[in-house]
Structure 1
């Protein structure tokens, strides 16, 4: 879910060779946190609509 959202929202392909080695944990953490504040699978998973 997070991997798909990173691609859809930020255009980040985590399978790209060396990408995650070149980035810091802070870089990844900020993008994942950003997924929680936009319309994404991750956001909907942790904030389901009230029924």
Structure 2
């Protein structure tokens, strides 16, 4: 979406944390791979409370 090549040496060091935060939040609010990975759809087969492990 932003066309930012974070693999370029020194690129992120030249940017502020605010710059990165704005882009990450923008990607989370739009249809993106990052949004799909970090906010997956609810799984109706998962038990309430998350984990299936018992102690």
Question: What TM-score do you get using the length of structure 1 for normalisation?
Answer: 0.69
Looking at CA atoms only, which structure, 1 or 2, has the larger radius of gyration?
Answer: 2
Greater relative contact order structure (CA < 8 Å, 6+ sep): 1
Counterparts of 2:30 and 2:43, CA distance in 1: 17
* Cα distance in 2 between the residues matched to 1:43 and 1:17: 26
Alignment match of 1:32 (pick from 11, 18, 24): 24
* Number of residue-to-residue matches in the alignment: 43
Gap regions ≥5 residues in structure 2:
45-55
Aligned CA-pair RMSD: 1.7
Structure-2 separation of matches of 1:38 and 1:18: 27
- Name whichever structure is richer in helix by fraction: 1
| 1:48 corresponding residue in structure 2 | 41
